[in-house]
Amino acid sequence: MKEYKLEVAWTSICYPIQEGGLGIKRLKEWNRAAITKLLWRLLTRKDTIWTSWVHANLLRGKSIWQIRIPSNPSTTYLWHDYWLPQGARISDLISARVIASTANQYSDDGLIWTGSASGTFSTSSAWELLRARQPIDPNHQLLWFKEHIPRHAFMLWLAIRGRLRTLDKLFIDGDPVDLHCALCQMKNESHEHLFFQCSYANIVWLTINRKAGLFWPSTTSVDLIHWSSSHRWKKNSERHLIARLILAAVVYFIWFERNNRIFNNTYKSAANLSEEIFQLLRLHISNLSLKYPLSEGIKVRWNLNEDLNAERARGLVGRQPN
């Protein structure tokens, strides 16, 4: 069996969601923040067993930046010598300027950490100072809002980055594949075609949006995502909330249907798929705890006044695919 590389680079994942990542922390950066915590405790002379012992037995009234600690067979500088694993120095991980710039204010009780608004040190605030950064990703508002459905949001996140293994990508990798779209059998499959140009996908989009009373511009996927991040992001708008849920759900279900056709040889009509999406979102919306009441118009469009518990018992409400 052919092995495939990870579709998204680990370095791209390890950013906050506001910067386009998945909010996973790099262990190397978090370790630097943890080391900073130890240094901060020594600088502020916190009354703990460890800092008391270090001050009494190692520092002995000296500055941490100049102290020598015993080593076998020679001596080493705590700050500037290569005594950490893999030949690293503390000064390579955390510069003295970073420490100084975040601890340059004094109070009656001692140093104040200026890396946070409260003046109190935290490992998280140190990590914020030390971590790699990239520009804010405007699309994060389409993905990671409070009411999002995680698996739908993750699939949309991959699709926006063009990281799903569509047939055109398999062809580029050298696999002998039929490039025709599994949904319409008319054009070659790509991210652009599968989700936004395919005739099957278009029927799903039109059906769902007609039921929801929403409008999406007819344009390329890149422009549509850009338009959505500018026009469908308001937190206290029920229409914007539903639009974002629909965008992620349609992308997720189209990809799921595509995989079912290729790998399981099972087919579902565009009308049936649209109804399944509608019923799943209807159930999700009915269970949301919003800070604002839904309008009567939304309740009527989504049939939210009916007894959903009875429908669940009868199996009439669509279920999300595994």
Please tell me the distance from the alpha carbon of residue 6 to that of residue 15, in angstroms, as a whole number: 17
In a domain, 294, yes or no: yes
**Strand ranges (DSSP E) for the chain?**
68-70, 75-77, 105-107, 110-112
Same domain, 303 and 170: yes
Q: Show which of 112, 130, 148 is a domain's final residue.
A: 130
The verdict on 215 and 160 lying in the same domain is yes
What digits encode the pLDDT tens for the residues 280-322? Answer: 999 999 999 888 888 899 999 999 875 555 555 555 554 555 4
Gap between the Cα atoms of 228 and 213, Å rounded: 16
Contacts 24+ apart (CB under 8 A), 213-216: 213/297, 213/301, 214/239, 214/242, 214/243, 214/246
Same domain assignment for residues 60 and 203? no
pLDDT tens across 14-39, in order? 999 999 999 999 999 999 999 888 88
Residue with the bigger pLDDT between 16 and 74: it is 16
Cβ contacts of 153 within 8 Å, gap of 6 or more: 143, 144, 248
Mean pLDDT for 4-10 is 70
Neighbours of 312 (CB within 10 A): 12
Band of pLDDT at residue 93, cut at 50, 70 and 90: low
> Is 57 among the domain residues?
yes
User: Token pair 């007894």 is at which residue?
Assistant: 307
Q: Kindly state whether residue 17 falls inside one of the protein's structural domains.
A: no
C-alpha distances in angstroms, 79 versus 56, 63, 107, 210?
A: 19, 11, 26, 65
Query: For residue 80, what are the domain limits?
Result: 27-130
Residue 72 has pLDDT above 60, yes or no: no
pLDDT, position 107: 47
- Measured over the CA atoms of residue 72, residue 73, residue 79 and residue 80, the dihedral's sign is negative
For the chain, what is the domain count? 2
The Cα 39–Cα 79 span in angstroms is: 11
DSSP β-bridge partners for residue 68: 77
181 pLDDT above the threshold of 80:
yes
pLDDT above 50 (res 208):
yes
Summarised one tens digit per residue, pLDDT across range 224-260 is 888 888 877 777 889 899 999 999 999 999 999 999 9
CA distance 233 to 241: 8
Asked whether residue 7 is domain-assigned, the answer is no
Rounded mean pLDDT of 211-218?
Answer: 86
Q: Which of 105, 130, 155 is the last residue of a domain?
A: 130
Do residue 145 and residue 272 come from a single domain?
Answer: yes
Stronger pLDDT, 82 or 317, i.e. the higher one: 82
- 182 in any annotated domain: yes
3-state secondary structure of 84: strand
Q: Closest Cα to residue 18, out of 115, 125, 139?
A: 139
Q: In terms of domains, do 70 and 196 share one?
A: no
Angle between helices 238-259 and 270-286 (to 10 degrees): 140
* Structure tokens belonging to residue 223: 């422009």
Report the alpha-carbon distance of residue 16 to residue 140 in Å, rounded. Answer: 10
Does residue 2 belong to any structural domain of this protein?
no
> What is the end-to-end Cα distance of the chain in Å, rounded?
24
Q: Is residue 13 part of a domain?
A: no
Distance, in Å, from the CA atom of 43 to the CA atom of 188, rounded to the nearest integer, reads 63
- As a dihedral over the C-alpha atoms of residue 208, residue 246, residue 281, residue 294, rounded to 10 degrees, the angle is -100
Residues 121 and 147 in one domain: no
Q: How far apart are CA 136 and CA 5, in angstroms?
A: 27
Please tell me whether residues 227 and 292 are part of one structural domain. Answer: yes
- Please check the confidence at residue 223 and state whether its pLDDT lies above 70: yes
> Do 51 and 32 lie in a common domain?
yes
Asked whether residue 185 falls in the same domain as residue 282, the answer is yes
| 55 and 187, same domain (yes or no) | no
In a domain, 148, yes or no: yes
| Backbone angles phi and psi of 247, in degrees to 5 | -55, -50
Q: Which of 130, 153, 181 is the endpoint of a domain?
A: 130
Q: In terms of domains, do 175 and 109 share one?
A: no
Residue 104 has pLDDT above 70, yes or no: no
DSSP characters for 154-196?
A: HHHHHHHTT-S--HHHHHHTT-----B-TTTSSSB--HHIIII
* Per-residue exposure over 18-47, b if at least 16 CB sit within 10 Å of its own CB, e if not: ebbbeeebbeebbebbebbeebbbbbbeee
pLDDT at 108: 47
pTM: 0.77
The verdict on 163 and 118 lying in the same domain is: no
Report pLDDT digits (tens) over 286-295.
999 888 888 8
Residues 90 and 35: beta-carbon distance below 8 Å: yes
Return the residue matching tokens 């349609």: 250
